Amino acid sequence: MKYFFLFIFLISSLSCSSQTQPEVQLSEVASEKILIVYLTRTKNTKAVAEMIHEKVGGRLVTMELETPYPEDYAAIVAQVAQENETGILPPLKTKIDLTQYEVVFLGFPTWGMQLPPPMKTFLSENDLSGKFVIPFNTNAGYGIGSSFDKVEELCPDSKILKGYSTKGGIERDGILFVMEGTKEVEVKKEVNDWLSSLGF
C-alpha cells in the first residue's frame, strides 16, 4: 500500500512541476519573436527594460499615450485615481502588431498599488493568447500591489511566467531616476539571474 501512495505522490509531483516549466525552451526563441513593451515615467522601468533587452534581444517599445499625463505629480495621482475608480482606459498612441511575437515582456511601475491604466488599455486592446507573458515592475518600495494579478486576469489564455520587481524612484519625494551606480549593478545581476531562471 505504501508503494501505491509513493507512486501517486511521484506522479503528482511530476505533473505539478511540468505546469511551471515552459513548453518551449525560451533560449530557443528567436530574438525577432521577443517584444519588450514598457511604460515609464521616471525612467526606472526603462532602465530595467534595457537590461532585459541587452540579455535577450528582441524589440524594445516604450508605451506612449495619445494625451500624455500631466507633469505635476499631484495631478497625475488624481487622474490615475479617477481612471482606476471609473474604469476609464486612456487611449494609446503606441500601436503594435503582435502576430509575430511569441514572448512579450510587460514593464510598468506600480501606481496606486495597481496596474497602471495605460497597461490595462494595452492588454484590453491586444490579444496575447498562447504567448509567453512576462511582467516586470519598478515601484517606490511598496511592492507590486495587485498589478501582476491584473496581468493574469487580462491575459487568461497566455502563459504567464514569473515576474520581476525592484524598488525604483519615489516621485512623491522628488527622487526620480535611481537606477545607477551600485543600484544599477545590483539590479542588473538580479535581472540576469531572473532571466536565467526562466530559461534565457
Q: Is the pLDDT of residue 131 over 60?
A: yes
Q: How is the chain split into domains, by residue range?
A: 30-198
Q: Is the pLDDT of residue 19 over 80?
A: no
For the domain made up of 30-198, give the CATH fold. Rossmann fold (3.40.50)
CA terminus-to-terminus distance, the chain: 42
What's the mean pLDDT in 60-88?
94
What's the mean pLDDT in 23-35?
85
Mean pLDDT lowest among 93-107, 143-157, 168-182: 168-182
β-pair partners for 107: 38, 136
What's the mean pLDDT in 64-81?
94
User: Which percentage of the chain shows pLDDT scores above 90?
Assistant: 75
β-pair partners for 79: none
Instruction: Give the C-alpha separation, 187 to 176, whole Å.
Output: 16
Q: pTM of the entire structure?
A: 0.86
The number of angstroms, rounded, from the C-alpha of 156 to the middle of its chain's C-alpha atoms is 15
Instruction: Give the C-alpha separation, 15 to 12, whole Å.
Output: 5
Q: Is the pLDDT of residue 24 over 80?
A: no
Q: Is the pLDDT of residue 135 over 70?
A: yes
